[in-house]
Each structure stands twice: as structure tokens, then as C-alpha cells.
């Protein structure tokens, strides 16, 4: 086996891993990046915005149960992250609103990811694809690198002062989804790359890392039920973002969530309902204003309903609410009950009363025919639970507190991206931004600090 010693070994070549490795290489450090897929980039290749909340106060408002220190680090580090992207010659367009409370920039993520990889290689550093990691190397409790398997089947021992886990989370593994999210999560759709199957989680926990937070939830979107997501283009094309302005019913015919809080939050709620299936109902106004309109400024609008219908989704257009009573039995929803609930909702909304559940952000009735109906189900992009980290991307240890009441870490071990947990708990304010910010934080730690066996 070959032996190498580098400043930073990065396991995983997505947004977090490539950002960290490129930053270390740009600063003159030595780095090796290993990626088990045949190509770097991971799920970041399917994204197009880097965004988060504009202030710590706003992030705390939408994400009150997340780690406050990580929240502050994310917001404080966001501008530096955008500046780093632009320093590589990658365009970040002017900021626009996202999800009503956030601010972010559209960018060509593929250009950014490929630029990072090229920078690493141009600085004489290694990027190894098709290379899974077998085990971390440890000495006296300090992580010293890893043993990886090259494409030819041979083992390569890579010694490093710092080792970073950035394998993209565990959402690609049905068993881990069921264990950490919900029993029904084993069967939900995956709107992410298939390679993120908990490798970083397993490696980190074997080294003594702590996993959390409990019941953290996940980020995803409602998708048309039963439609294959094998083509990544469907991750965005078929996402039912407009659910925030529609009504969602479970298989008993009841509403169960304030849909206006956000499609990503409704998605988590639907996972816990019978069969994890729902009936999404919109009217002509919602179709006009949201289904066929742009979801985010700068992204052209398309008719989501027609896209889903052409993809084979169970869908229908009802000329009147009375049509719901004749809903086909095989759909598995009590159509007459759904009709009654819509009529009751509309009556209450017209009178200015409080519906149950409430509708905080859009309380208008849905009473303009025709009605657009799609059977929906949750799909996951990444889980919020992961290895807990501090603001320097150091992985926290399962053995408790550190010196002077501080948090103990696993010496030599870093994590970022979806491998890192703690930032969000049943809330969301961007995925690429945390990967970028904490990837750069990991690079800074690797360039400026020396691991020790004492928690810091």
C-alpha cells in the first residue's frame, strides 16, 4: 500500500468536499479528495441556487430548534462563501428572494464544481474517483487519515493531519431512512444522487462521533405519487412547490398541516400520515398564479400540472367540487369527504374565520373552477440529522463535554454538507450554503490548527 501524508484528506466530492479541497489547494496546502462515484459533484449538480436567511434573527425565527452557533456561523460566513465562488470566475447572479424569507444567488453549480476540481488538479493534488473509503486510520484517539479502495481493487493508505467527511448524508439508504426518519421513509422517492448511503455516518460513528439531532427531519418536496425519479431532471421539473397555495388531504380525507408554511415542511408532515400519500387540490387561481408561474425569480415558469400529467401521475381536472364525489375508488381517497372539507374551508375563508389547520400565509378560498388534483407523496433530498459539528467543522465526540465545559471533539476529524447535523431541526434555509460555508470552515481549520487528543 502506498503511504501519503497530506494536510487534508476529503472523503466525498460534492459541494462541501470540493469547496474544502479547492480552498486548501488554493492556499498552498496538500490535499487528496476521494469520491466513490465515477464523477465528482454529488447532488449539488442538480441544484442551481446558493441561499440562506439574510440575518441570524430570521434564521432563528424559521429554525428555532437548530444549533444557534451553527446558525450564526452560516449567516456570517455566507458572504465570504459567495466571494470565494466569484473569485474562481464563476458567476453568482444578483441576490433574489427565496422561499419568502431567504436571499440567494443563482449560479451554474456544474461550473463551480468542475472549477474546484480543476483547481485541485492544477495545484498537483489528487482527485480519486471510483474510490470508496474502507476505514479511518486512528492513533490514540486521533483520526490520521483513511484506507481507501482504488478502482483496480488495491488499497491505498492516505495519512492526513485532518480528515473530512463529506459523503452527502444517508438518504440513499432505505434502511437508514427508516431508522432515523420514519418507518415509511424506506419507501419514499429519492431526489438526490444514489451514492450517499451513510458512508460518512458509519465512518464517523466508528471513530467516536455523536449523531444528532433526534427527530431532526429532512429536506425534500412533494412529488407526484408513483412517478419514477430515475431521471434527475424530474427532481425540479415535477416538484409540487405550489402546494403552499393548495390544499392537501390524507387518505382519510382530512387536512393535517398548514400548507402555507412551506412545501418542504408539508413533505415532512405527509411522511407521517397513513400510507404517506396525499391528494393535492388547487383551483384555477392557484393554477394561474402558482402552478404555471415561476417559483423563484430567474427561473422560467412551467405548468407543473401538465408536466406531472404527461409523466404519468395520477391526476385529474374537476369542473366542479361535485365531481369529487365520483372519484375512482382505486385512488384510495374518500372523494365526498374531500369535497365537503373543501366546501367547509371555503365557507370559513370567505367569512374571514380561522380554518383548522390554519393558513398563516394564504387564507384565501379555493373556489374558482376548474380544480386541479394530483396524488402526491414525499421525496427526500437530504436528511438534517448527521454528525454533530462545531463552527470550525470539527466533529463532536460522543464522550461528552470537553475541557472547561466546552464541547469535546474527535481529534483530526471534520465534517460538512449533509454528513453534518445540528444546523437544522425540522426547518430549512438552504442546502448548498451550509455545504459551502462549513466546507470552507473545514479548510480553514485544516490550514491553521493542529489536531490534539484533548477536546477543544
pLDDT at 298: 65
What does the pLDDT profile of the chain (456 residues) look like in tens digits? 345 689 999 999 999 999 999 999 999 999 999 999 999 999 999 999 999 999 999 999 999 999 999 999 999 999 999 999 999 999 999 999 998 899 999 999 999 999 999 999 999 999 999 999 999 999 999 999 999 999 999 999 999 999 999 999 999 999 999 999 999 999 999 999 999 999 999 999 999 999 998 899 999 999 999 999 999 999 999 999 999 999 999 999 999 999 999 999 999 999 999 999 999 999 999 999 999 887 666 667 789 999 999 999 999 999 999 999 999 999 999 999 999 999 999 999 999 999 999 999 999 999 999 999 999 999 999 999 999 999 999 999 987 654 334 579 999 999 999 999 999 999 999 999 999 999 999 999 999 999 976 544
Contact 36, 130 (CB under 8 A): yes
Return the domain boundaries, the chain.
3-215+384-448, 221-380
pLDDT at 333: 98
Give domain 3-215+384-448's CATH architecture. 3-Layer(bba) Sandwich (3.50)
Fold adopted by 221-380: Flavocytochrome C3; Chain A, domain 1 (3.90.700)
pLDDT at 301: 76
Amino acid at each position: 500500500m502506498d503511504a501519503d501524508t497530506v494536510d487534508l484528506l476529503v472523503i466525498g466530492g460534492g459541494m462541501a468536499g470540493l469547496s474544502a479541497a479547492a480552498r486548501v489547494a488554493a492556499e498552498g496546502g496538500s490535499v487528496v479528495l476521494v469520491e466513490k462515484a465515477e464523477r465528482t459533484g454529488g447532488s449539488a449538480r442538480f441544484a442551481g441556487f446558493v441561499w440562506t436567511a439574510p440575518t441570524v434573527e430570521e434564521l432563528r425565527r424559521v429554525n428555532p430548534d437548530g444549533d444557534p452557533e451553527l446558525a450564526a456561523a452560516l449567516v456570517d460566513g455566507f458572504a465570504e462563501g459567495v466571494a470565494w465562488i466569484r473569485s474562481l470566475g464563476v458567476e453568482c447572479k444578483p441576490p433574489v428572494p427565496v422561499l419568502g424569507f431567504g436571499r440567494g444567488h443563482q449560479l451554474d453549480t456544474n461550473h463551480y464544481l468542475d472549477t474546484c476540481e480543476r483547481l485541485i488538479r492544477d495545484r498537483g493534488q489528487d482527485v480519486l474517483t471510483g474510490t470508496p473509503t474502507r476505514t479511518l486510520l486512528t492513533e490514540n484517539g486521533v483520526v490520521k487519515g483513511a484506507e481507501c479502495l482504488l478502482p483496480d481493487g488495491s488499497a491505498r493508505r492516505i495519512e492526513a493531519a485532518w480528515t473530512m467527511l463529506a459523503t452527502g448524508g444517508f438518504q440513499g439508504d432505505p434502511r437508514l431512512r427508516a431508522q432515523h426518519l420514519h418507518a415509511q421513509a424506506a419507501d419514499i422517492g429519492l431526489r438526490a444522487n444514489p451514492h450517499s448511503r451513510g458512508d460518512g455516518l458509519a465512518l464517523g460513528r466508528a471513530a467516536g462521533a455523536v449523531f444528532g439531532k433526534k427527530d431532526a427531519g429532512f429536506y425534500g418536496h412533494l412529488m407526484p405519487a408513483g412517478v419514477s425519479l430515475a431521471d434527475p431532471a424530474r427532481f425540479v421539473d415535477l416538484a409540487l412547490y405550489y402546494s403552499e397555495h393548495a390544499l392537501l388531504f390524507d387518505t382519510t380525507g382530512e387536512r393535517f398541516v398548514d400548507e402555507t408554511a412551506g412545501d418542504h415542511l408539508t413533505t415532512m408532515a405527509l411522511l407521517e400520515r397513513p400510507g404517506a400519500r396525499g391528494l393535492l387540490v388547487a383551483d384555477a387561481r392557484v393554477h394561474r398564479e402558482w402552478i404555471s408561474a415561476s417559483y423563484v425569480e430567474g427561473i422560467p415558469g412551467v405548468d407543473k400540472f401538465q408536466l406531472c400529467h404527461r409523466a404519468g401521475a395520477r391526476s385529474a381536472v374537476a369542473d366542479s367540487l361535485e365531481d369529487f364525489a365520483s372519484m375512482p375508488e382505486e385512488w384510495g381517497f374518500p372523494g365526498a369527504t374531500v369535497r365537503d372539507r373543501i366546501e367547509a374551508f371555503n365557507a370559513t375563508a370567505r367569512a374571514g374565520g380561522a380554518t383548522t389547520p390554519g393558513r398563516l400565509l394564504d387564507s384565501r378560498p379555493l373556489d374558482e373552477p376548474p380544480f386541479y388534483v394530483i396524488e402526491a407523496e414525499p421525496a427526500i433530498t437530504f436528511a438534517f440529522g448527521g454528525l454533530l459539528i462545531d463552527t470550525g467543522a470539527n466533529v463532536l465526540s460522543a464522550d461528552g463535554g470537553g475541557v472547561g465545559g466546552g464541547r469535546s471533539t474527535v481529534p483530526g476529524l471534520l465534517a460538512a454538507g449533509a454528513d453534518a447535523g445540528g444546523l437544522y431541526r425540522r426547518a430549512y434555509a438552504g442546502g448548498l450554503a451550509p455545504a459551502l460555508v462549513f466546507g470552507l470552515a473545514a479548510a480553514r481549520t485544516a490550514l491553521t490548527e493542529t489536531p490534539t487528543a484533548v477536546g477543544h
